[in-house]
């Protein structure tokens, strides 16, 4: 009897140890609301991610923030305090990502945002020491957009963007780059992602007569100003943000999007990339996995961001396990430290080189110039 009891106790201890070793990955995504066209493919990508990291079981816990900052904060608190996750993937957009900074830092839990703005993880200080974001920096996007404008002889530009943190960050960065390139900004109009009309903003932009218009928006709400500009007969070049690079945008915009260009992560046109492009192989792997489940042509930039986020989190977790057990504060701290130490990690969207002062780690290899033609994406060599 005593031997049996001892054996039972040992079995219980082993089971407890195994439970502690489980790696929990949380995800805060916009599965509903204006940014649902971003969050849904991110969730679908999580569904095809590996269920193990270095032999340890991985559990994914996904929460919908409805594209709302307050809901994102509640989701972050739940994942940290109730679910005891080791790392969070997401949120999907800039406002929700900024909203959870304090909560994630107080809970000593790293998160890898799928949103676009540099302000999420820069400068790396205070709560932002726990934040990472993988979308290319606005300066990299501007390099390709303004390079294309200069090639076309465009001298003036107008902006139409969201009146939120994303719009401010994106347009602010593009204005700064325009100044260095001698391109004159002649208009700057803003609107809400939930607005039913952007006619006034489009009229004001057309009256300023810019050579090109840049849309600082994300998801399907970014299509509205393009439709208005087309209806008003605007004939200049139109550029969108990569936050609009998804099939839903193509569906909503239809023929009005023909000729619209954008700087975007190369995964969108992976097959068209030169063979020496360093991300082509991983991009094709992502596409094969994602489209193998959801069908040809379903690839998604935002899903690819989550794919890369898992790849980085997985690499960091392997090293963090050497010093602490998953499910502990020590493991989360070690994972954060390992994330900012990752070098030359080739993802589906770029090559990542993190550091204690750079929680983005991308360079110009994370972007390419693309044109929308007949409901599809066409790679455009800049040089």
In a domain, 276, yes or no: no
Q: Give pLDDT, residue 23.
A: 98
Pair 132, 6 in one domain: yes
CA distance 177 to 169: 12
Q: Tell whether the model's pLDDT for residue 9 goes beyond 70.
A: no
Pair 41, 85 in one domain: yes
CA distance 37 to 20: 35
CATH number of the structural domain spanning residue 89: 3.40.50.2300
Q: How confident is the model at residue 200 (pLDDT cuts 50, 70, 90)?
A: very high
Pair 306, 235 in one domain: no
In a domain, 175, yes or no: yes
In a domain, 270, yes or no: no
Q: What is the pLDDT of residues 98-140, one digit of tens each?
A: 999 999 999 999 999 999 888 999 999 999 999 999 988 888 9
Q: How far is CA 13 from CA 8, 10, 16, 330, in A?
A: 9, 5, 5, 21
CA dihedral 200, 174, 235, 160 (to 10 degrees): -20
The pTM is what? 0.82
Q: Calculate mean pLDDT across residues 306-311.
A: 98
Q: Give pLDDT, residue 356.
A: 98
Nearest Cα neighbor of 258 from 223, 282, 292 is 223
In a domain, 377, yes or no: no
Pair 61, 142 in one domain: no
Q: Give pLDDT, residue 113.
A: 98
Pair 290, 259 in one domain: no
Domains of the chain: total:
2
Pair 159, 254 in one domain: yes
Range of the domain at 328: 2-136+286-363
In a domain, 370, yes or no: no
Q: Give pLDDT, residue 333.
A: 98
């Amino acid at each position: 009897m005593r031997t049996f009891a001892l054996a039972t106790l040992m079995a219980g201890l082993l089971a407890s140890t195994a439970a502690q070793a489980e790696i929990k990955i949380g995800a805060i995504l916009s599965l509903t609301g204006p940014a649902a066209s971003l969050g849904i493919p991110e969730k679908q990508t999580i569904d095809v991610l590996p269920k193990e990291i270095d032999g340890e079981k991985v559990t994914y816990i996904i929460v919908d923030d409805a594209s709302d900052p307050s809901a994102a904060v509640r989701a972050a608190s739940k994942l940290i305090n109730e679910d005891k996750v080791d790392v969070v993937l997401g949120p999907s957009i800039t406002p929700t990502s900024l909203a959870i900074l304090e909560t994630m830092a107080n809970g000593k839990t790293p998160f890898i945002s799928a949103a676009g703005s540099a302000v999420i993880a820069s400068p790396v200080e205070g709560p932002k020491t726990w934040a990472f974001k993988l979308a290319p920096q606005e300066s990299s996007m501007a390099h390709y957009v303004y390079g294309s404008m200069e090639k076309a002889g465009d001298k003036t530009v107008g902006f139409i963007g969201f009146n939120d943190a994303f719009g401010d960050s994106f347009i602010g960065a593009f204005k700064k780059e325009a100044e260095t390139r001698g391109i004159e900004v002649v208009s700057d109009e803003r609107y809400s992602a939930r607005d039913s009309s952007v006619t006034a903003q489009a009229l004001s932009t057309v009256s300023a007569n810019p050579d090109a218009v840049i849309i600082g928006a994300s998801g399907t709400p970014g299509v509205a100003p393009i439709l208005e500009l087309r209806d008003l007969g605007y004939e200049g070049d139109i550029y969108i943000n990569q936050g609009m690079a998804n099939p839903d945008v193509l569906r909503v915009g239809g023929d009005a999007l023909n000729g619209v260009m954008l700087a975007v992560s190369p995964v969108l046109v992976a097959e068209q990339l030169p063979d020496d492009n360093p991300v082509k192989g991983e991009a094709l792997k992502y596409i094969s996995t994602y489209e193998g489940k959801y069908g040809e042509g379903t690839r998604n930039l935002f899903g690819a961001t989550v794919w890369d986020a898992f790849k980085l989190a997985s690499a960091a977790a392997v090293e963090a396990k050497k010093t602490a057990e998953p499910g502990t504060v020590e493991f989360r701290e070690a994972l954060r430290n390992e994330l900012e130490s990752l070098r030359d990690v080739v993802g589906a969207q770029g090559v990542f080189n993190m550091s204690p002062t750079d929680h983005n780690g991308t360079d110009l290899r994370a972007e390419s110039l693309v044109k929308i033609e007949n409901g599809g994406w066409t790679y455009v060599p800049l040089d």
